[in-house]
Structure 1
Amino acid sequence: MENLQTGEGAKASVGPLLEWYRKNQRDLPWRHTTDPYKIWISEIMLQQTRVDTVIQYYRRFLERFGTLRELAGASAQDVLAVWKGLGYYSRALNLQKAAQQVVERYDGVFPRDYEVLRQLPGIGDYTAGAIASIAFNQPYPAVDGNVLRVICRLEGSEDDISQSRTKKRVADIVCPIIPKDHAGEFTQAMMELGALVCIPLAPLCGHCPVQSFCAAYRTGRQNELPVKKKKEAPRIVPCWVAVLRENGKIFLEFRKNDRLLGQLWGLPIVEKKDSRSPAQLLEEKYGLRLKNARKLGSASHVFSHQIWKMDVFTFALAEPMPHSDVLHWVEEEELERYAVPTAFQRVLKLLHSDNGWEQLEISLE
């Protein structure tokens, strides 16, 4: 069993990789800048999200928050509203927190120091390495899933890439081979090779510029490597969802301190328990009195670690709404101004669908 020790395959691949990248790189908007702010935005958005999806959000975000100071000075709700639909909303909140720290501590000048970058909210080893190398041409590795896969195949490694020690070993291999004066180009070339050629399933070895240096290809293990421990199946969470509408308004909950969807707006929702009815559970959670329950349909939403199986009911209020800091009547015409995550957006869209309610399978966040 080989493991990550020598790095000879990776070292030999540097020249051919850069030559390939210069001819084959995709024309992506964040590749037309070395502005650390814009590179940072792109790297955060690209976490857990497809490139094709990110492009439109990247452009829209920079149209609204063109500078770091504009992002720092905005309200959290404005930031989340622009981010709406991109998922993993803690990324947006951390972006703003980091921008505010840069304004407060560094007078709005994006720090060049790698260790300082790592201390900003939402920035870990990978993102700090990407910013340092791409924006400032500093020789720091940026080890994402693509780079892990490329290096482990080049080295024929059977180390588990889900383990932090494997990421550390890959970073140790990459760091000394980063070419002087081409750090950013090398970082993007490694990522591009993993995205376009050295893909997870059925890699396109016939098109690979570093095939002759690849231990996985040489031993016929390109479809077996890298090794990654399987994730546990997401937990199924059965829920009741309430839709309350009145005089052109809809009832929304502000999920202020929610661990999953904090600082976002959604419909009232409760997890199903024992044999109690949806009205009983919703009344208990929100202090409401409900009447005229009618089932509208069902929907599913897939998060990374859990799946909401939602049965959706419409209700009317049996008594006036009590004072609440979390429940609010919102004008339906103004819903676009609110940061409503995809799980609830699809439910709201169905209210105006000509086809009525139907079973949905949603996999976005």
Structure 2
Amino acid sequence: MTDMPPAILPPERFQQRLLAWFDEHGRHDLPWQHERSPYRVWVSEIMLQQTQVATVIPYFERFMTRFPDVASLAAADQDEVLHLWTGLGYYARGRNLHKAARVVADQHDGAFPVHSLDEMAALPGIGRSTAGAIIAQSTGRRAVILDGNVKRVLTRLHTVEGWPGRPAVERRLWALAEHYTPDERLVDFTQAMMDLGATLCRRGTPDCARCPFEEVCVAHARGEEKLFPEGKPRKALPTRTTLMLLLQDREGRVLLEQRPSSGLWGGLWSLPQFDDAEALRAWLDARAPGSALEPAWAPFTHVFSHFRLEITPQPARIGRLDAVDEARCWYDPSDPASIGLAAPVKALLASLAPFALTTTAGP
């Protein structure tokens, strides 16, 4: 507790204010709140990482329909899991969700280890805060959370300086979160903290007039709400370029390749990618001799957290193709298969109809 700044409110008063606000204004009818099993709470928490509630709800409902429990998720193929994840982004979350389900099934007899924060945090893709949220939300036991919403609330209340990703700053925020977390009503308290950050103490446009801590928030008193939390030190995003081969057969099907399990779009299906036109042409000569290139489409940019990817789609008519192995498949845009697709690839495939190749293509 030595790293903790002086508290504005005693814990009991903080909890009373927050819970009174939550009882009247909090979110009580989210799909994962009925029922609050460890499995349902876990899936929702992973989906909600860096994604808005309104976006997550339809994905969560489709996911629960197909995978109602951890056993069905563990038994599924990764392709199907990533197919249901397509569009949510941050696909490592989907891969880790599948890995964690298999760990729970194989090493924990199909039951989440909610008795142990350390064991929960050790599951793929979870970590300390998510583990705390799952335990508190599904069991009502005391566990502390510190997600992005909670960090924002605490940094503004206490004007905690520094980027929250720095270890020293994060330690101070964990100390504050520990200080304020009660021993009772943990389900409501953790949801209230997340709701306060998501609905009032928003990143760009905080609604301070409706906040239960308006008169005790230091950042608000200074008129500096938008200065907290401090952003990550910015670096100019580097730009990479790639050519994506849109190789179609006479039936309009497109050749896809499965990405390696790690790295960019890990485990997803994508168009064959090349650093330059020479590499693409060499691949066609070796793999699909006799194929004819069409004029390239206009490039577009897909932005990741750490770089920008400039993509140039390169359509081609198939000549003949060497045998398609298990890492490649023919994809029919008019009858899409249930496989996980990278978001820009999904968009390109959806746009193919107006550009369908003629039936004269091929041998």
> What's the TM-score once normalised by structure 1's chain length?
0.88
Task: Give the secondary structure class of the aligned counterpart of 2:317.
Answer: strand
Q: Which residue of 2 aligns with 1:104?
A: 106
Equivalent pairs counted in the alignment come to 350
Q: Kindly provide the CA deviation profile for residues 159-215 of structure 1, in whole angstroms up to 9, marking residues without a partner as x.
A: 321213322221111113222221121111111111111111232111111112212
Deviates most, 125-134 or 263-272: 263-272
CA apart distance, 1:41? 0.3
Q: Kindly provide the CA deviation profile for residues 81-112 of structure 1, in whole angstroms up to 9, marking residues without a partner as x.
A: 11122111221121121111111222111211
Amino acid at match of 1:131: I
* CA distance in 2: counterparts of 1:340 and 1:158, whole angstroms: 40
CA apart distance, 1:228? 2.3
Contact 1:9–1:155 under 8 Å retained in 2: no
Distance 1:173 1:278, change over 3 A: same
Q: Percent identity?
A: 32
Amino acid at match of 2:208: C
Q: Which residue of 2 aligns with 1:14?
A: 15
Distance 1:138 1:283, change over 3 A: same
Q: Which residue of 2 aligns with 1:264?
A: 268
Deviates most, 244-253 or 231-240: 231-240
1:169 correspondence with 2:172:
yes
Q: Which residue of 2 aligns with 1:224?
A: 227
Contact 2:249–2:318 under 8 Å retained in 1: no
* CA distance in 1: counterparts of 2:192 and 2:129, whole angstroms: 15
Contact 1:244–1:251 under 8 Å retained in 2: yes
* CA distance in 2: counterparts of 1:7 and 1:34, whole angstroms: 32
Task: Give the secondary structure class of the aligned counterpart of 2:298.
Answer: strand
Amino acid at match of 1:8: I
Q: Which residue of 1 aligns with 2:160?
A: 157
Normalized per residue, the structure richer in strand is 1
* CA distance in 2: counterparts of 1:290 and 1:151, whole angstroms: 63
Q: Kindly provide the CA deviation profile for residues 64-86 of structure 1, in whole angstroms up to 9, marking residues without a partner as x.
A: 00011111111111111111221
CA apart distance, 1:7? 2.7
Distance 1:328 1:202, change over 3 A: closer
5 Å matches for 1:1-365? 4-9=4-9, 11=11, 12-26=13-27, 27-112=29-114, 113-248=116-251, 249-272=253-276, 276-277=277-278, 279-280=280-281, 282-283=283-284, 287-289=287-289, 291-294=291-294, 295-321=296-322, 324-353=325-354
> RMSD between aligned alpha carbons?
2.4
CA apart distance, 1:136? 1.5
Q: Kindly provide the CA deviation profile for residues 13-36 of structure 1, in whole angstroms up to 9, marking residues without a partner as x.
A: 221111101111133212233211
* CA distance in 2: counterparts of 1:332 and 1:225, whole angstroms: 46
Deviates most, 212-221 or 320-329: 320-329
* CA distance in 1: counterparts of 2:320 and 2:8, whole angstroms: 73
Deviates most, 332-341 or 238-247: 332-341
* CA distance in 2: counterparts of 1:135 and 1:211, whole angstroms: 30
* CA distance in 2: counterparts of 1:218 and 1:126, whole angstroms: 29
Unaligned runs of 5+ in 1: 355-365
* CA distance in 1: counterparts of 2:109 and 2:328, whole angstroms: 38
Amino acid at match of 2:85: W
Q: Which residue of 2 aligns with 1:360?
A: none
> What's the TM-score once normalised by structure 2's chain length?
0.89
Task: Give the secondary structure class of the aligned counterpart of 2:104.
Answer: helix
